Copies of this chain bind each other. A is one copy, B any other.
Amino acid sequence: MPTMTSVAKRAGVAVSTVSYALNGTRPISEETRQRIFQAIEELGYKPHALARGLASKRSRIIALLFPNTDRGLGFTELEFVTSAANAAKENQYSLVLWSYDVHDLDELRQLTQQRLVDGVVVMEVHENDARIDMLRQIEFPFSMIGRCAGMDDLGYVDIDFSQTVRDAVDHLAGLGHTEIAFLNQSRAAFEAGYGPAVRTHAAFEQIMAERDHESISRFCRTELRAGYDAFNALLDEHPDLTAIVTMNERAVPGVLHAIHDRNWTVPDDFSLVVIVTSRTIAEMMIPPLTTLEAETGGMGRLGVELLINQLEGRPPEQLQVLLPCRLVVRHSTGPKPDRARAKAQARSG
């Protein structure tokens, strides 16, 4: 393997000159520059990443911290990951995937101490997040996907949940719906201060209050069966419900089944809008879902860029960015059904 010394020899210059030529840290005469790069070319030289990192004290590696949850990552998260990897590469950084136990703060501390990575992008940030507190305290560079309390000076990228819920409700209201429920993620997530669950809940309450509607909402574990049960429970308590807004994509199939089992049809008898989800998911369902889609790709990318800007000492254009979701009307929402008429028809038919 060619080293910098071999390049220097071949070009007839000192190693330091090669280094300067490579990093542009110092002016080099055009002539020697040529010779150096020619030697590099001929030898097929590539700087040794570790050596460079050791000397410069910057590894040009960043970590994407993702929680090693039992239920695994969702589809949405996958796009974070790939886009983050791409963004890192475009900035000549490598991205290591650091899955870890959320409760094990020590593991995170070790990551920061072994000096492998220059900074971390933290996913799934919670309202009061011990990890963030620690990172701040030891002054380790980081950016977040999600937000937490007291982060005025921290870089983050998140979804504009409030606006998203509003758009969902507006869409349904525009179709005449008034009895709308919000199907949240699990109570456990909510109580743990999981941002998306907390913010969507709050937003829904506020929006329904503004409209002088009753705010009906319910927690639901992120799985099919729970969705089925939650829907039935919701309709037992509120028979007039004609639409649901949810961010619980894993529960949706269950909801769909439950609707089906009532001999109802979506969207004729019930409307459903799923927020913060992806096209792939939406198109897999029958009928294809009306959604508010996050540009998740953008989030991973922004998270990484936020961190890298910080590492390079560049001031970011925006320290904190809230991404909107786009309404895509497919076939899970329709005009508010007239249940009374439908029943009468059924009786007479």
Contact = CB atoms under 8 A, between A and B. Distances in A.
Interface string A109-123: 010011110000000
Given A72-B78, A281-B284, 11 more contacts: A1-B115, A46-B113, A49-B116, A50-B53, A73-B82, A81-B81, A96-B96, A224-B283, A253-B285, A253-B288, A257-B286
A137 to B, nearest CB: 14
Contacts of A285: 253, 284-286
Interface string A67-103: 0100011010111011001100100001111111000
- Range for the number of chain A residues in contact with chain B: 35 or more
26 contacts: A1-B115, A46-B114, A48-B115, A49-B116, A50-B50, A50-B116, A54-B54, A61-B96, A61-B116, A68-B86, A72-B78, A72-B79, A72-B82, A72-B280, A73-B82, A82-B99, A89-B100, A94-B98, A94-B116, A95-B97, A97-B97, A250-B280, A253-B285, A256-B286, A257-B286, A286-B286
B284 A113 contact: no
Contacts of A224: 283, 288
A126 B85 CA distance: 23
Interface in A213-258: 224, 250, 252-253, 256-257
Contact of A78 (B73, B86, B94, B281): B73
B78 A89 contact: no
Nearest to A252: B284
A51 interface: yes
Residue among A50, A72, A81, A94 with the highest chain B CB neighbour number at 10 A = A50
Residue among A68, A72, A100 with the highest chain B CB neighbour number at 10 A = A72
Nearest to A54: B50
A286 B261 CA distance: 11
A282 to B, nearest CB: 10
A115 B50 contact: yes
A47 interface: yes
A250 B280 CA distance: 8
Contacts of A284: 250, 252-253, 281, 284-285
Contact of A68 (B78, B79, B82): B82
A260 interface: yes
Nearest to A60: B116
A270 to B, nearest CB: 14
A176 interface: no
Contacts of A12: none
A271 interface: no
Residue among A47, A98, A100, A116 with the highest chain B CB neighbour number at 10 A = A116
A44 interface: yes
A49 B115 contact: yes
* 7 closest Cβ pairs, A-B complex: A46-B113, A49-B116, A85-B97, A78-B78, A50-B53, A85-B99, A50-B54
A184 interface: no
A113 B44 contact: yes
